[in-house]
Structure 1
Amino acid sequence: MSIFTGAGVAIITPMNEDGSINYDELGRIIENQIAGGTDAIIICGTTGESSTMNDEEHIKCIKYAVDKTAKRIPVIAGTGSNCTREAVNLAKQAQEVGADGLLCVTPYYNKATQGGLYQYYKDISDAVNIPIIMYNVPSRTGTNILPETAVKIAKEVKNVVAIKEASGNISQVAKLASLADGCLDIYSGNDDQVLPLLSLGGKGVISVWSNVAPAKVHDMVASYMDGDIEKAQKIQLEAIELIDALFCEVNPIPVKAAMNMLGYKAGSLRAPLTEMTDANKERLRKAMENYGIL
């Protein structure tokens, strides 16, 4: 059932000076992620600034990632929307260009009911034949997929096989895991809570942190899965300062700044996101130095 087990990267979208997508640099980043052991590429998610892409850019970016990875690891395409019709359209096109799976965020701003969330995922599922990961991130969408709703969707809607849980509420994740009883794969959407989620039966993480430290994130999950809990714990705890810095401003502002510091041509952000403040940039730089990647 699992699309992947381990560390998937919620990959940034590098931009040229004119704000267009820098595909050459995206290719370099994908290659370095694969070399670092990343288990899946998640393209056009929140970290990839998908909300500021038009449909043509969105699908072109997904196709580029599919072609570049060449089936070495799965490519999961972010295709959620606050408009079900748009989400269905993007899902169908992502499948057509070869995506291995979909990451579908809950509708944002218009705040669907639990029944509306069920219908949203059913409508997307009815339009495609590839696995779907629900994405629960209430802090950004204003909507929370309740555990009961997530399990109902998993049991009754074809193709929905997993959830990216970014509520930050470990009690909710525990209840979800208990109710699901294995019918739904759970991925951490919070880099500082990967190990707690793995301990509840999670399959891995869809990670922002992995952009700057793919080998570390992969090794943490792999170590846990291999039974070396102490090593996994050490990797998780050593990264807390860095993870905090990567989220000291709204994602993906800090991670794009970090990638630029590491020598990638990540470029700037699309409005309405703005560049990181000098104070937070210095905080991030210090955290990266302390972590040993700068």
Structure 2
Amino acid sequence: MADDYTEIKSKLRGSITPVITPFKGDGSIDFEKMSELIEFQLANGTHGISVTGTSGEPSSMTLEEREQVMLNAQQTINGRVPFVPGTGSTNHDETMRLTKKAEDIGADAAMVIVPYYNKPNQQALYKHFKTVADSVEIPIIVYNIPGRTAQNLHVDTLAQLSRDCPNIIGVKESNKDFEHVNRVLQRCGRDFLLFSGIELLCYPMLAIGGAGSVSATANVLPGKVAEMHDAWFDGDVVRAQKLHYELMELNDVLFKDTNPAPVKAALGMMGKIEPHLRLPMDVPSKELQAEIRETLNKYNITVEYA
């Protein structure tokens, strides 16, 4: 297997948007809208695209649908920016299949979540990720989101995986424990890719040496999120800080209900999609929708539909 991932690690930087999965009124996937959303991202300076992660409602889709979404995204992006689909599942064999599919279609890396619901111990997590990584050559970004999975991938476990699996090149940390994320780079090495999945930590993680973020907010305001990263990497700390605080009110309102319901509501108001979710997810309350609409107006985002 290849052991030099220097080139792709240099490309995986900045704002990697976790694009939502648009559904039609009958519940089917709207692939045309998905391509339009990706084009909207690229036109606004987004540095990379991810699909079928948390924001993409993967647990509401069949394996075949997830594969179709990945392929549609890959074809739409067509090499213009790095493509990092989410390929993890609570089921080990499904994770293996989806990660291999990502490799087969030419994705730049695969994002593999800590298995949710079944709460494996650290030894089991090590075996799971190592088995997946050993089965492919595609780079792997581990996705640690304890609030959703009910299990935290310990720094010691991640550090061992980074030593034993050359293609495990980074982690998306949706982890509010900032001491934990500092120790990731201390233990895994400063060249290990650290991405923030917590919106209010996107800027702070850059300051400690992070590679970027995978922020649901970038679905709605991709230009500002990308610009914050550009400012940081250009050395304009004051501008990056300013954008960090500018984004906070939007970040807050988009997480007053479970992601991606508020994000889809916002995109629906913007005329980008029909804001459908698959059960057991549902649209936000009318009160929250009104607050989202008001917030979009504050950001001068055109609201086409009330």
Same fold (TM over 0.5): yes
Contact (CA 8 Å) 1:10, 1:43: kept in 2 or not? yes
Structure 1 partner of 2:180: 172
Aligned partner of 2:80 among 66, 72, 82 = 72
Counterpart of 1:248 in structure 2 is: 256
Within 5 Å, which residues of 2 pair with 1:139-178?
Answer: 139-178=147-186
Counterpart CA distance in 2 for 1:171 and 1:127 is 32
Instruction: Give the root-mean-square deviation of aligned CA atoms.
Output: 1.1
**SS class of match (2:275):** coil
269, 288, 291: which one aligns with 2:299: 291
> How many angstroms apart in 2 are the aligned matches of 1:209 and 1:41?
13
Opposite residue 124 of structure 1, the aligned amino acid is: V
Aligned residue in 2 for 1:187: 195
Q: How far 1:267 sits from its partner (Å)? A: 3.1
Counterpart residue identity of residue 27, structure 1: S
Aligned to 2:209: 201
Equivalenced residue count is: 294
Task: Quote the residue 1:257 is aligned against.
Answer: 265
Structure 1 counterpart of 2:279, from 248, 271, 275: 271
Match of 1:100 among 84, 91, 108: 108
- Checking the alignment, whether the CA contact within 8 Å between 1:105 and 1:137 is kept in structure 2 is yes
**In structure 2, C-alpha distance between the alignment counterparts of 1:64 and 1:263, rounded to whole Å:** 21
> What's the counterpart of residue 123 of structure 1?
131
Partners in 1 of 2:274 and 2:88 — Cα distance? 24
CA contact (8 A) 1:77 1:101 kept: yes
- Relative contact order (alpha carbons < 8 A, sep ≥ 6): 1 or 2 greater? 1
Q: After TM superposition, give the deviation of residue 157 of structure 1 in Å.
A: 1.4
**Runs of 5+ consecutive residues of structure 1 not aligned to the other structure:** none
Where 1:236 maps in the other structure, the secondary structure is helix
Aligned equivalents of 1:137, 1:274: Cα separation in 2 = 21
In the superposition, the TM-score normalised over structure 1's length comes to 0.98
Q: Distance in 2 between matches of 1:67 and 1:14?
A: 17
Task: Work out the CA distance in 1 between the residues paired with 2:214 and 2:89.
Answer: 19
Mark the CA change 1:176 to 1:165 in structure 2 (over 3 Å): closer, same or farther. Answer: same
CA contact (8 A) 2:109 2:140 kept: yes
Question: Retained in 1: the 8 A contact 2:63–2:94?
Answer: no
Greater shift, 174-183 or 1-10, is seen at 174-183
Distance 2:101 2:183 in 1: 34
- Is 1:24 the counterpart of 2:32? The answer is yes
Runs of 4 or more off by more than 3 Å in structure 1? none
Indicate if the aligned counterparts of 1:25 and 1:266 stay in contact, CA closer than 8 A: no
CA contact (8 A) 1:154 1:183 kept: no
The AA in structure 2 aligned to 1:287 is T
- Opposite residue 189 of structure 1, the aligned amino acid is G
Aligned to 2:218: 210
Q: Is the 8 A contact 1:223 1:229 kept in 2?
A: yes
Q: Could you list the per-position Cα deviations for residues 51-94 of structure 1 after superposition, in whole angstroms to 9, with x for gaps in the alignment? A: 11101110011000001111011111111111111110111122
Shift of 1:275: 1.1
In structure 2, what residue type is equivalent to 1:281? Q
CA apart distance, 1:148: 1.5
Q: Report the residue type matching 1:238 in the other structure.
A: E
Q: 2:60 aligns with which of 47, 52, 61?
A: 52
Correspondences of 1:33-48 after superposition (within 5 Å): 33-48=41-56
For 2:120, the equivalent position in structure 1 comes to: 112
Deviation at 1:266, TM superposition (A): 3.8
For 1:248, give the aligned amino acid: K
Of 12, 17, 20 in structure 2, the residue corresponding to residue 9 of structure 1 is: 17
Distance 1:139 1:67 in 2: 32
**Structure 1 residue 158: deviation in Å?**
2.9
**Distance in 1, Cα, partners of 2:108 & 2:17:** 15
